[in-house]
Amino acid sequence: MNTWIAIFIGGGIGSVARFGITRMVLAFGLKGAFPWATLFANVLATGILAWLILRVQPQFEGRDALKAMLGVGFCGGFSTFSTFSYENFLLLREGQTVMAAANIAISLVACLAIFHIVARSA
């Protein structure tokens, strides 16, 4: 399969999964100022990417399109730095500096921690 097409397919699936996370968060009633859906999506995407890179990649030797589809496409479409930035911008604009700082800190620490956890188990 062509790598560009693989990334396109993976990105589409990741974006739909990201939309599903938002719907699930809303269904569980986690509305409010804190951007839970973005946090969950980014931490989960980081965990998947860490698992792919550290645990599965050796099995993908010579399968560059599949690696690109899952890592670049799916994880890229599933995670969302632009939404993370926008939501923090809105929090700061609304004067919710502590909430924005908490979101930034929690996101950074959680994503680094999940990568570390996967790395240690590899």
Which pLDDT tens digit goes with each residue over 73-89?
999 999 999 999 999 99
Kindly report the number of other CB atoms within 10 A of residue 109's CB atom.
Answer: 11
Quote the mean pLDDT of the chain.
Answer: 93
As a whole number of angstroms, the distance between CA 2 and CA 64 comes to 9
Q: Where are the domains of the chain?
A: 3-121
Q: How many CA atoms lie within 13 A of 15 on its CB side?
A: 9
Flag whether pLDDT at 64 surpasses 90: no
pTM above 0.85, yes or no: yes
Determine the average pLDDT of the residues in 43-58. 90
Residue 108 pLDDT grade (very low, low, confident, very high; cuts 50, 70, 90): very high
Listed in sequence order, the residues at least 6 apart from 68 whose beta carbon sits closer than 8 Å to its beta carbon are 3, 6, 7, 10
